Structure 1
Amino acid sequence: MFTNYEAAVDWIHSRLKFGVKPGLKRMEWLLEKFHHPEQKLQVIHVAGTNGKGSTVAYMRHILQEAGYKVGTFTSPYIETFNERISINGEPISANDMLKLVNEIKPFVDKIEETELGGPTEFEIITTMMYVYFGKYNKPDFLLLETGLGGRLDSTNIIEKPILSLITNVGYDHMNILGDTIEEIAAEKAGIIKDSVPVFTTAENRAALQVITEVANTKNAPIHRYADEMKILDHQSFEDGEKFSIQTSHRTYEDLFISMMGEHQTKNALLAVAAMDYLIQTGIAHITEQQIRKGLKHTMWKGRFEKVLTNPEVIIDGAHNIEGIESLVKTLERHYNNREIHFLVSVLEDKDYAAMISKLASVATSMHFTTFDFPRATPSYKLYSVCSIENKTFHDDWQDILLELLNSYENNDNSLIIIVGSLYFISLVRGYLLN
């Protein structure tokens, strides 16, 4: 038994040594011991390469505006470990976390003695989440983000969600999900269940074909971006994006989001289409006004988030090529007349050469660093693949960050963008805000 929260969380993190073990057998074994709490929940399941967290955030704010109690399961965390399991945006308490760990650990010890072996960190957190929401603090809706892929992801133990959402499909986690876009799409499409509607903003034709085929074999009605749901009249403003949305039922005109970027309009589209489905089927009562307010009030930490104004500093957890492309488009759309100085740290399993090349196309200067994390790329490696002349590398991220802040203070034309791994972004965000 653990007597304090810190020891409990240390034990969860100690499970990292088990790595990633795709498959649902251990989840089935563990949840059976708790009489399948996941079966008691109304779930909207979200998979995709990018945009899962933002889509969940939009849906949460809309449902909260409509007076619902909303559970969320997201990863990774940005401020506190507990935020992965939240109700109405409030992370689970340290005390509840401690109780859950003590409740689950005896079963973890038992399963380790079987041929199934020890559960991973993510499997343990997922089990805790299902037990918490299914047994102790039941929400009206649970918005559930996959950790990795979909088909064999720990969250995919649910048999009958209300909806399945797939954001986009890109090249990420290829060592686990597959080398081709079709293989990766098949893994994401693994969350599609028999007769459960699926909504997707995936645009890659090969990926979309795979998702459509899986939906058809499972008799799952499919709603696709630019077919059954569309974005109309998109305009960018200094403080966000304005656009209209057409779903298969109706048009929502002149919506506004405070999160910047064309990619965010697609995440908002997916969220609104899902909410529109809940309205049409009578599963939820949501007014157009509640949708408008929910969208406008949505912010998502670490996603194109302005954290300082002098100098102006934006942090963005773009950690794969699709995320970087969205970031560059947003910068071109909103900040094309500014000097842009990047501070970058990326994990080794990413295509960092392509990512850096894309950033360099809009950069005035580029600065590379690393941080204390097992898969963090050494700063000199990032530096070596960068083609622009105005570049530096530093192993101490705090030193180079302070240097950049001092260099560009009181310089209205300069913009500092800190980008890369969400683990890195989380560290920097905490440092700057504290």
Structure 2
Amino acid sequence: MTDEQRQRPGDNPRALAFIVLLVLIDTMSFGLVIPVLPALVMEVTGLPLSSASAIGGGLIISFALAQFLASPVLGGVSDRFGRRPVLLLSMAGHAMAFLIAGLAGSLALLFVGRIVAGITGASYATAYAYIADVTPPERRAQNFGLVGVAFGFGFMLGPALGGLLGGIEARLPFFAAAAGCLLNLVLGWFVLPESLPRAQRRPFDWRRSNPLGTLLQLRALGGPVAVLATVHFLWWFAIQAQHSIWPYYTQYRYGWSPQEVGLSLALVGGLAVFVNGVLVKRAVRWLGEVRMLAAGLLAGTVAMLGYAWAPSVLPLLAAIGVSALGGFTAPALQALVTSEAPVNAQGELQGGLNALASLTTILGPLLYSQSFARFSGENALVELPGAPFLISASLAATAFLLVVTRVRQVPCPEPEPAADTSQIMG
């Protein structure tokens, strides 16, 4: 099979199915360890839960920082050597990271495991680049929606399975996650073809393959890419509010138990599966990518306002329902931004977007946890526990305004002339 044949999705549907499976297993693997990470930190350090939670925050930040620094490098590598080796490397790295954490006898090794996971955590970004390689622009939003389906299922199944395995042994979910990644690696070795032909690759350039260089290159690609990258950053920054403080907020304001928090997150995952698996395809046909992106951002803004002001559980559940329509945002944005970038810069593009998302996972928890602490409890400046969601609503609303005023549907650009890489490739 030639590279040109591999680029046509109809010739090899197994490739797209594998990419969706990759995201599902990766998401499940990370979800597996969430319920037992506090117990493992306490076991390794001998500290109580209150102190272990601060260390857990440090582990999250170390992962995000490593991913922020490494994503542009791996994006550039995938533009030079292809998507397949980067995806296989990512799966091997994830397996190693989970094994390190599962066998860790010290806090230092736990941090090493998280850093390794962050460095090799290119599977999502490279998976998006792979889909852009093999999918015509008019079908990209639909196929990017399949990634959202996989993420939703992984978000539902991973923590539930992790809790069950963790009840047997705290380290067992880490070994199960490593096994899932190794299974993915073996499967990918046999069924995953390369999506980027040699003629469309470009030389690796350190000046472009670092966080600052990649962000400057996003800007150099043109106005639409810069605007869409800004929208991407604002949206990811906005949704970090729910990721950061949801358990604390719902327990403080509504008296929820951990079980009720878990059920609410399972509802979020189930709705994400429905929206990405059923509604995205129809929304693209009815609205087009630009209006669909605007609708997702508007729904996210309304949902965040609902979280901030809901006086009881019923309005809060209604806000969760509205927030599910925010699932329109990612596939529509990916479809638009990949259509603006040349074929031989898709890895760089996704590396830059992933770096921006990683940056929000560093800044978001700091901002939202501090704002929640300052506006709740006995020492609150003003009793306003929904303040973090008001901040996130303002970020989502800014992104919405950027889309409706600055983004237009445009044709897919021609690829940049391929560089002469014969001496590099041999």
User: Shared fold (TM-score greater than 0.5)?
Assistant: no
For normalisation by structure 1, the TM-score amounts to 0.25
- 1 or 2 for the larger relative contact order (CA 8 Å, sep ≥6)? 2
Q: Going by fraction, where is strand more abundant, 1 or 2?
A: 1
For normalisation by structure 2, the TM-score amounts to 0.25
Q: Going by fraction, where is helix more abundant, 1 or 2?
A: 2
